Structure 1
Amino acid sequence: MSPDRNRIHLAVQKSGRLSEESLSLLKGAGLRLSRGGKSSLSARADNYPLDLMLVRDDDIPTFVADGVCELGIVGQNVLEEYALGQPDRRIEEVARLGFGRCSLKIAAPDSLNFFKLKMLEGQRIATSYPNILRRFLDTQGISADIVTMRGAVELAPRLGIARFICDLVSTGATLDANGLAPVADVFDSEAVMIRTLKPVDAPHRAKMDGLLTRIGGVIATQESKYIVLNAPESALPAISKILPGAEAPTVVPLVGRPGQVAVQAVCQESVFWETLERLKGAGASAILVMPIEKMMM
């Protein structure tokens, strides 16, 4: 399908760990998506001038850098590897999306008594992220041979390809299953929204900004909670300090209860039971915590 130039275009991973959560984010932003089938390389929003291009994750930076897609959702690990290999082709990161969190780590065989990074000196390290790994080794003053692989990196020690590996780790189960243990953190990653730095006309810019505003609202509600409580007016300074990530709360006098107020606040950080206990200890009562379905920042 050739791109419709009256619509904006968003590159998204076709399959894999970021695909499902990326589509869920867009649905949370109110987009109704139509897709031709599982093998289709595109999808269309029925209620917004947006087309999705469903591609390999390591192709997304290229699509955005070339301006084929104005926007993209990609892991920071992929973006950083691309940026180090293509320093003249810049892309702007516009939002961190809060999912797809993982770490690029160096791992060693369980049987090896690894206790310092200098043990990597002169060794072979297999990875799918040679540019990020090379930068890390350079900052540590370590010279090692990097073996670039496109998959199954964790098999490299068993096959004798390399003694160490550098690969993405989320739960660590894959490393454990292959007799490996992480020994160094190289790069932390999560999904990000990126946009092209190619010239974009005013109508397209407005459509992009509208979509980013919606997505920003979805991200803002992921951890945010709406808190309502009653408290003595004298307790307001202490309560305001406890409310996590809240801006100035709304305070309303309670009718027929002199010196008592109702406090309403949007908290943009997690609200734990410990938070409620601290609020109660500061004098709050009738504390109500509610999820926020939509928020426009």
Structure 2
Amino acid sequence: MKTLKIAIQKSGRLNEKSVELLKNCGLSFENYKSSLISPVSNFPLEILFLRDDDIPEYVQDGIADLGIVGENVICETEVEVAYLQRLGFGKCTLKLAIPNKGDIQALADLNGKAIATSYPVILGKFLKDNNVEAEIRTISGSVEISPGLGLADAICDIVSTGGTLKSNGLKPFGDVLSSEAVLIGRKGEEEDPLIQELIQRIQSVLRAKETKYVVLNAERKNVDEIKTLLPGIKSPTVVPLAEEGWVAIHTVIPEKDFWSRINQLKAAGAQGIVVMPIEKIIL
């Protein structure tokens, strides 16, 4: 039987979440912290642990069938790969940032300035699209210290919380690219049965993270009104209780919908509301 290969970060901000996702898909593997390759014992899959910059090219060239990597890396390396599934973690923004004290007020003020970045390809496209002519200075690390050292007038870097910018006397100036972790594959091989099975597992885990299993009690006369407030996967399950005229209503709903409707449910007669996490949802 064919064995798939999936490449994920060896270390970095996406490593732990990628490992967690694969384990939640029911995949069993060990020693991933001490090895570059880890076989999965209960699915035809090998996990490759690589530098994030290498993952897109490994997938493009067919060395790996799949990869988990940030969109920013894909855009910077300009590879040809298929986007198979957005994963909802590793969200960040590639931003322009400028010194708190300076004369830059608008994008046009960057003309003739020097901008330090680890993402020259993405930044170059952004500047071209906005008709800005600035010098791009490529720096592999610690981009945020460049203005303080006189190496650049502004920076373009990944920002998650903004704490690093603030500690270096910088402030966000503009968004260049929004990014999150994505599952990628080699173009033309998206319909491979094993790949589709793994995608199905991943999707079931992602759905479960966004939804809750809800059980509540209500008088039978209030069921119709309560059902209109519970947009489940299909329709709620209604089970009679031992007490005459009362039922238990079971459903699965998006967590964001539940919290916006809880007062409406209580007003409609819902009682004893229990909210539980879900491990997987398979459609």
Give the alignment's TM-score, normalised by structure 1. Answer: 0.86
Q: Could you tell me which residue of structure 2 aligns to residue 11 of structure 1?
A: 7
Larger mean Cα displacement after TM superposition, 111-120 or 49-58: 111-120
C-alpha displacement of 1:123? 1.1
Count matched residues.
282
CA gap of 1:227–1:57, structure 2 versus 1, over 3 A, is same
Whether the 8 Å CA contact 1:67–1:198 is kept in 2: the answer is: no
Whether the 8 Å CA contact 1:32–1:47 is kept in 2: the answer is: yes
Give the alignment's TM-score, normalised by structure 2. Answer: 0.90
Q: Could you tell me which residue of structure 2 aligns to residue 106 of structure 1?
A: 96
Whether the 8 Å CA contact 1:106–1:185 is kept in 2: the answer is: yes
C-alpha displacement of 1:239? 3.7
- Which AA in structure 1 matches 2:121? N
- Which AA in structure 1 matches 2:72? N
Distance, in Å, in 1 between the alignment partners of 2:180 and 2:12 is: 14
Distance, in Å, in 2 between the alignment partners of 1:75 and 1:253 is: 45
Whether the 8 Å CA contact 2:227–2:236 is kept in 1: the answer is: no
Note the alpha carbon deviations across 1:119-142, whole angstroms, 9 max, x for none.
212211111112221222223222
CA gap of 1:105–1:238, structure 2 versus 1, over 3 A, is farther
Whether the 8 Å CA contact 2:29–2:40 is kept in 1: the answer is: yes
Equivalent residues in 2 for 1:1-297, closer than 5 Å: 6-35=2-31, 38=34, 40-83=35-78, 86=79, 90-112=80-102, 114-199=104-189, 205-231=192-218, 235=222, 239-240=226-227, 242-243=229-230, 246-252=232-238, 254=240, 257-258=244-245, 261-270=247-256, 273-297=259-283
Give structure 1 stretches of 5+ with no counterpart. Answer: none
Distance, in Å, in 2 between the alignment partners of 1:265 and 1:109 is: 52
CA gap of 1:246–1:80, structure 2 versus 1, over 3 A, is farther
User: RMSD value over aligned CA atoms?
Assistant: 2.4
Note the alpha carbon deviations across 1:59-91, whole angstroms, 9 max, x for none.
1000001111110000011112223xx4xxx21
Give structure 2 stretches of 5+ with no counterpart. Answer: none
Larger mean Cα displacement after TM superposition, 44-53 or 247-256: 247-256
Distance, in Å, in 2 between the alignment partners of 1:248 and 1:113 is: 57
Instruction: Give 3-state SS (helix, strand or coil) of 1:157's partner.
Output: coil
C-alpha displacement of 1:274? 4.8
C-alpha displacement of 1:277? 2.1
Percent sequence identity is 43
Distance, in Å, in 1 between the alignment partners of 2:28 and 2:274 is: 33
Note the alpha carbon deviations across 1:225-268, whole angstroms, 9 max, x for none.
0112234566556544544x63332242635644x553322113
- Which AA in structure 2 matches 1:26? L
CA gap of 1:272–1:171, structure 2 versus 1, over 3 A, is farther
Whether the 8 Å CA contact 2:104–2:110 is kept in 1: the answer is: no
Distance, in Å, in 2 between the alignment partners of 1:265 and 1:185 is: 40
Distance, in Å, in 1 between the alignment partners of 2:107 and 2:220 is: 57
Note the alpha carbon deviations across 1:267-294, whole angstroms, 9 max, x for none.
1343665532232123322211111122
- Which AA in structure 1 matches 2:202? I
CA gap of 1:24–1:251, structure 2 versus 1, over 3 A, is closer
Whether the 8 Å CA contact 1:249–1:264 is kept in 2: the answer is: no
- Which AA in structure 1 matches 2:141? G
CA gap of 1:284–1:197, structure 2 versus 1, over 3 A, is same
